[in-house]
Amino acid sequence: MLFNSFEFLVFLPIVFLLYWFVFRKQLWQNLFVVVASYVFYGLWDWRFLVLIAITSLSSFASGLLIEHYEGRRPMQRLVSAANIVLNLGILGAFKYFNFFVENLELLLGALGWHLDGVTRQIILPVGISFYTFQALSYSIDVYQKKLPATRNIVEFFAYISFFPQLVAGPIERATNLLPQFQRRRHFDYAQAVDGCRQMLWGFFKKLVIADNCAAVVNEHWANYAHLPGLTLILLAVLFTIQIYCDFSGYSDIAIGCARLFGFNLMRNFNNPYFSRSIPEFWRRWHISLISWFRDYIYIPLGGNRCSKWKNIRNVYVVWLISGLWHGANWTFICWGLYHGTLLVLYKLLGINTKDKNSLAALRVFPGVKTMGQMMLTFTLAAIGWIIFRAESMAQAADYFTSIFTNRFYDPSMTRGLTMAGFGFLLLLIEWFQRDKQHALQFPGSKPFNFTAIRWGIYYLIILLIDKFSGESQSFIYFQF
């Protein structure tokens, strides 16, 4: 089920009313969350509910077994490894089987051997990378004694399948979300209202900005070889705006929706396009995934507590895996290695990325140096997004070449320029609200303490959504 669908518009109020007014006890609320979440996911394809159930059951059992073998570290290690292998095996089979077989066929073909008839049309289950990583973090945390294993299977199944963030995150840690299922929730009007505001802002980003940018990008991308250089640059900027508004819009809707039910999810985006360096960008973009890689791959490999060359190795390992996590295509792998290389260059050049001032502490408008750093970071990110958007590395290389070899100007991209203007306006609003959790989190001061002002803003956004909503597009990160 999509957030931007009529089904969700019907589903959410029904679930909300039943959750607070019928299933009032904690146990029944948790059980209802599981049922509602499985309905939410099953409306896409009910067959893949089996995969979520297997992932949930294996991770739940592994936690109990790890505690059962307390004091017997080899057995604990075996249980933890078995759960990791099982879940990564499921993920690999559905997400990477054809990719590896196709590349094996090419390699063997180059050697004169042929491997035919192995690939299959395997459907990629929506959100499998997200809920798999969420389940793995639990069993690893139990193994590392960061939290005790839960013995309540309903609470655990609710933690894995919680519908607001089931298919595209944030990738929640058990240390944050699971305890919220273990205590009684009380309806908090202020929290629910702020959740609605965040959802409204997320829908605006998705329906007005992301979907309209997608329409322009999709229309012209296939014909990129015949477009002038300036148009190609504009398309890259539009996709840079699109992917941010699409994914951060989903996160805003998910976080706001969770607050309606008394849950606080972690922040997943923190104004990444205002970053002053690529390392800072990755501290602000898809925070739940990057922190997952940091805690469960980068630090166990040695992090930055080792020699310079081993640290560089660790960076490349993490970003190779990050590229693969995003998809079974060489473009994603190269995109990951591109950002790994940028991070290594920042380190080798000794560029200070530990910014002394937070964004909120900066002046109303950034200074020339800060603005230059932000523009450079935005440009480097946009270059990466071209690789990310391309269907192959050959297309990505040709796209970059066409920017400089095609004629440079074409006045026909009126809609594209309009959407770029909308994107700039959105970023401007987020700049002035950069010290808030989301752009519609109003301070309790003039003029926002006037009800008429606040509701005027809400109605304006609703009217913009109604008037300018683009053709409905699936969320980009559903494919991961």
Identify the band that residue 385 occupies on the pLDDT scale cut at 50, 70 and 90. very high
pLDDT of residue 204 exceeding 60, the answer is: yes
pLDDT of residue 292 exceeding 70, the answer is: yes
| Residues 136, 138: Cα–Cα separation, whole Å | 5
| Residues 193, 44: Cα–Cα separation, whole Å | 29
Asked if residue 141 lies in contact with residue 67, where contact means CB atoms within 8 angstroms, the answer is no
Task: Name the token pair of 125.
Answer: 């289950």
Rounded mean pLDDT of the chain? Answer: 88
C-alpha neighbours within 13 Å on the C-beta side of residue 248: 26
pLDDT at site 354:
64
Specify the residue for token string 């269907």: 391
Closest of 2, 124, 125, 12 to residue 474, by C-alpha: 2
pLDDT at site 94:
85
pLDDT at site 123:
77
| Residues 354, 346: Cα–Cα separation, whole Å | 11
Average pLDDT of span 270-285 = 94
Identify the band that residue 404 occupies on the pLDDT scale cut at 50, 70 and 90. confident
pLDDT of residue 277 exceeding 70, the answer is: yes
Which positions ≥6 away from 233 have C-beta within 8 Å? 403
Average pLDDT of span 22-41 = 94
Average pLDDT of span 313-331 = 92
Taking phi over 0 as left and psi of -120 to 50 as alpha, with beta for the rest, 169 belongs to left
| Residues 282, 66: Cα–Cα separation, whole Å | 33
Identify the band that residue 327 occupies on the pLDDT scale cut at 50, 70 and 90. confident
pLDDT at site 119:
54
Q: What is the pLDDT of residues 83-114, one digit of tens each?
A: 999 999 999 888 888 777 777 767 766 676 76
Average pLDDT of span 456-461 = 88
Task: Name the token pair of 470.
Answer: 């683009």
Average pLDDT of span 168-177 = 91
Which residues are catalytic, by number? 326
pLDDT of residue 356 exceeding 80, the answer is: no
| Residues 299, 293: Cα–Cα separation, whole Å | 9
pLDDT at site 336:
95
Q: What is the pLDDT of residues 217-276, one digit of tens each?
A: 988 888 888 888 888 999 999 999 999 999 999 999 999 999 999 999 999 999 999 999
Q: What angle do CA 194, 200, 204 make, to 5 degrees?
A: 145
**Widest pairwise Cα distance in the chain:** 75
| Residues 326, 317: Cα–Cα separation, whole Å | 15
pLDDT of residue 117 exceeding 60, the answer is: no
Helices 153-161 and 174-181, interaxial angle, to 10°? 120
Average pLDDT of span 404-429 = 78
Exposed, middle or buried by CB within 10 Å (0-12, 13-18, 19+), for 405?
A: exposed
Task: Name the token pair of 173.
Answer: 């840690």
pLDDT at site 113:
73
pLDDT at site 447:
66
Residue type at position 202: G
Q: What is the pLDDT of residues 418-458, one digit of tens each?
A: 888 888 888 888 888 888 888 888 766 566 667 788 888 88
C-alpha neighbours within 13 Å on the C-beta side of residue 403: 13
| Residues 179, 338: Cα–Cα separation, whole Å | 38
C-alpha neighbours within 13 Å on the C-beta side of residue 238: 28
Asked if residue 79 lies in contact with residue 69, where contact means CB atoms within 8 angstroms, the answer is yes
CA 447 to chain centre: 34
Identify the band that residue 116 occupies on the pLDDT scale cut at 50, 70 and 90. low
Identify the band that residue 358 occupies on the pLDDT scale cut at 50, 70 and 90. confident
Q: What angle do CA 468, 247, 453 make, to 5 degrees?
A: 50
Q: What are phi and psi of 170, to 5 degrees?
A: -60, 150
Task: Name the token pair of 97.
Answer: 């089987």
pTM, full prediction: 0.91
Q: What is the pLDDT of residues 130-171, one digit of tens each?
A: 999 999 999 999 999 999 999 999 999 999 999 999 988 799
Closest of 49, 54, 128, 377 to residue 244, by C-alpha: 377
pLDDT of residue 357 exceeding 80, the answer is: no
SS3 category, 416: helix
